[in-house]
Amino acid sequence: MTAIANEPDGSTPLESDEIEGLKFRHVTTRGELDQLEQVNIESGLIWLGRRRKTDILTEQFIRTLHRRLFGEVWKWAGEFRRTEKNIGIDPLQIGGQLKMLLDDARYWVENGTFSPLEAGARFHHRLVQIHPFPNGNGRHARIAADTYIMDRFNHEPIDWAAGHDLQRSNERRNTYIAALRAADAGSYEQLLAFVNARHPAASSHPIP
């Protein structure tokens, strides 16, 4: 089971009580776990596409989405974490901070505060920064942000991976994690570039 702790940079190692929640006792490698999670995520995405279109900006939806994506693998899927992680706020603040984010995200739609991609990028960053769950936060928050911009802005989903695997160490992941860290420090430029929210208008339409 120790191999499961062997995560790429920018992920949150699991506590032993969290590993206890693994529904498959035979898993020994990170690759096996990745595969089980991937199968679960795919069935979660089917649920997401077919569900009744309720308000997604609720704690209940955020938790249900996590349970649908990871609940066949982890017993604690959909439940907020109770332990401190290297990423994320104090676990006691998760519910309150999540509510503030969901209220802000609703406000951004109603007031046209940001472009759809910028709203999606900010929503994603705030959600992973809260880090509501013991694991799966990156994947969950990318899908949640896509659902937000599709449902609320009628916009196509973000091309997060751009042909790479964001769960593995590679240039795309390094750029992604660096962009999230810059956003932690208050600068969204890198994350906006990452999600293609900043089109180089000047170069595509050169001024004669």
Ligand X SMILES: Nc1ncnc2c1ncn2[C@@H]1O[C@H](COP(=O)(O)OP(=O)(O)O)[C@@H](O)[C@H]1O
**Interface contacts to ligand X, rule CB under 6 A:** 10-12, 87, 128-129, 135-139, 177, 180-181, 184
What minimum distance in Å lies between the beta carbon of 106 and ligand X? 22
What minimum distance in Å lies between the beta carbon of 177 and ligand X? 5
| Alpha helix positions (H), the chain | 16-19, 30-50, 59-70, 94-111, 116-130, 137-153, 171-184, 189-194, 201-204
Choice between 9 and 110, CB closer to Mg ion: 9
The listed partner (Mg ion, ligand X, none) that binds 180, CB under 5 to 8 Å by sort, is: ligand X
DSSP 20: T
The CA-to-CA distance between both ends of the chain, in Å, stands at 62
Q: Which of 11, 40, 97, 147 contacts Mg ion by CB under 5 A? A: 11
Choice between 20 and 184, CB closer to ligand X: 184
Output the CA–CA distances (angstroms, integers) from residue 136 to 70, 104, 116, 129, 142, in the order listed: 8, 23, 24, 13, 10
> Quick check: 40 binds Mg ion (CB under 5 A)?
no
Choice between 8 and 151, CB closer to ligand X: 8
3-class SS of residue 128 = helix
Distance, CA of 148 to CA of 119 (rounded, Å): 9
For Mg ion, which stretch binds (CB under 5 A), given 21-29, 55-63, 95-103, 128-136? Answer: 128-136
Residue ranges binding Mg ion (CB under 5 A): 11, 135
